[in-house]
Amino acid sequence: MLAPYAARAEQTRGRRHPEHRHAYRDDYQRDRDRVIHSRAFRRLENKTQVFTRRLSDHFRNRLTHTIEVAQISRTIAAELDLNVDLVETLALVHDIGHPPFGHAGEHALDACMREQGLFFDHNLHALRIVEYFEQRYADFRGLNLTFEVREGIIKHSRDYSAREYPQLAEYLLDKRPPLEAQLIDLTDEIAYLTADLDDGLESEIITLADIRKGSGLFERFYVEVEKLYPQAAEKLKANEAIKRVLNALAGDLIEATKSRVRAAKIETLEDVRNAPRRLAGFSEGLEIERAELKKFLYQKLYYSPELARDKDDSKRVIAEMFAFWMQHPEKLPESYQDDAKASLPQTVCDYIAGMTDNFINEQHRALIG
Ligand code: MG
């Protein structure tokens, strides 16, 4: 049973190219399956989330992170009586526009583009992937996803103004996206904040003492776990506390979103779209603790000297490859040659953004050495 304000597949604004109905899958289920079968989705396996493979191969990569976001999103959406298939599709596609090497790669690519008077934005790139670069159908380029999925790709994490981004005008930029899309940025945070505590501890870049001091939320649960399992191994106690942090964030997101929906007297999807601000979110109290945990991870993990070496390597590889293809456009693959004539920097950027960590490193070794 869907909430009256949930997105309904039968009320989709549809696809760019009309298609026949499928015998037993609705439009959002088909979109989810299209995302899973895309090449860009498979490449997530070899893209850095936070830790490169140099450190260990059991840390999250962008694919396993994506699967965790999908899992958390499904649970929360189901409890809110939202459209689980749409939420799952948006979760599975949410990081598809990320270049190799995580955020370091993203900043490096953006810096290269800014020198050309352009910029790189991973949401815009995700849209280009599903609309243009994926080629699986004889009738059209792209995956021909429904409006709501394309809208969610663009609007799940931030607002874009129609003045600055006229090419996005069709996506109702002055309105809020459906709750299914609003959830994604928050479930993404729940997934990575907790996963990075786990991987961060495992990597020994952060210690249990660091976390207990840096996050009041974690500390509260760790004290509780210590009372319950005084004899347990420290790592297991940390895991128990992380699990409780995840549960607390998910439970709070569900309850706080429900109460905002109630307070705003939301009855239809149009009400969600017309609300003055986004309705999905944490309660005020947990929001403070979430922000504290995030700040802690930035200071102690993401900006740690231990990860700096990989980040510097990433920046150098991207900058050198960007410069290489700008000077040698003839070395771009045949399938990019037409695009390169229209805009070389954009084409080089698109080519690099699609790469896995592996592939760009191989190209770098082969072409620059
Ligand atoms: Mg993510």
Assess if residue 358 is contained within a domain.
no
Inside any domain, residue 28? yes
The domain that contains 104 carries what CATH number? Answer: 1.10.3210.10
Evaluate whether residue 48 is within a structural domain.
yes
Neighbours of 23 (CB within 10 A): 5
Please say if the pLDDT value at position 122 is more than 80.
yes
Residue 240 lies in a domain: yes
Report CA-CA distances (Å) from 312 to 97, 213, 306, 340: 21, 29, 11, 28
pTM over 0.85: yes
12 within domain boundaries: no
Q: What angle, rounded to 10 degrees, do the helices at 179-203 and 147-155 form?
A: 50
Stretch 294-314: mean pLDDT: 93
Contacts of 327 (CB under 8 A, 6+ apart): none
Compute the distance from residue 190 Cα to the ligand 1 centre, in Å.
10
pLDDT recorded at residue 340? 96
Determine the average pLDDT of the residues in 304-312: 91
Flag whether pLDDT at 51 surpasses 90: no
d(CA 182, CA 126): 17
155: left (phi over 0), alpha (psi -120 to 50) or beta: alpha
Structurally, the chain folds into a number of domains equal to 1
Q: How confident is the model at residue 162 (pLDDT cuts 50, 70, 90)?
A: confident
The span from the CA of 24 to the CA of 347, in Å, is 39
Using the mean position of ligand 1's atoms as its centre, give its distance from the Cα of residue 240 in Å.
23
How many angstroms is it from 20 CA to the middle of ligand 1? 33
pLDDT digit string (tens) for 333-348? 999 999 999 999 999 9
Lookup result for tokens 């899309």: 181
Residue 83: φ, ψ to 5°? -80, 105
**CA atoms of 198 and 146, how far apart (whole Å):** 36
Please tell me the distance between residue 279's alpha carbon and the centre of ligand 1 in angstroms: 20
**Does the residue 334 lie in any domain?**
no
CB contact at 8 A, 102 and 49: yes
State residue 61's pLDDT score.
92
| HSE-CB of 219 using CA atoms within 13 angstroms | 12
60: left (phi over 0), alpha (psi -120 to 50) or beta: beta
Distance CA 77, CA 190 (A): 14
Distance CA 291, CA 326 (A): 40
Phi then psi dihedrals of residue 61, to 5 deg = -110, -175
CA distance 292 to 284: 13
pLDDT recorded at residue 73: 98
Q: Is residue 1 part of a domain?
A: no
> What is the 363 CA–ligand 1 centroid distance (Å)?
26
Given pLDDT bands bounded at 50, 70 and 90, which one contains residue 57? confident
**Residues 191-212: pLDDT tens digits?**
999 999 999 999 999 999 999 9
From the list 97, 95, 65, 104, the residue with the least C-alpha distance to 310 is 104
Place of tokens 């929360």: 76
Residues flanking ion ligand 1, Cβ below 5 Å:
95, 188
Encode pLDDT of 58-74 as tens digits.
899 999 999 999 999 99
> Does 349 reside within a domain?
no
pLDDT at 29: 98
* Mean pLDDT to the nearest integer, 114-134: 96
Q: What are phi and psi of 111, to 5 degrees?
A: -65, -40
pLDDT band of 48, cuts 50, 70, 90? confident
**Backbone phi and psi for residue 163, each to the nearest 5 degrees, phi listed first:** -70, -45
Structural domain of 51: 24-159+180-309
Distance 334 CA to ligand 1 centre (A): 32
Q: Alpha-carbon distance 76 to 179, whole Å?
A: 11
Contacts (Cβ under 8 Å, ≥6 apart) of 142: 16, 130, 131, 132, 133, 134, 135
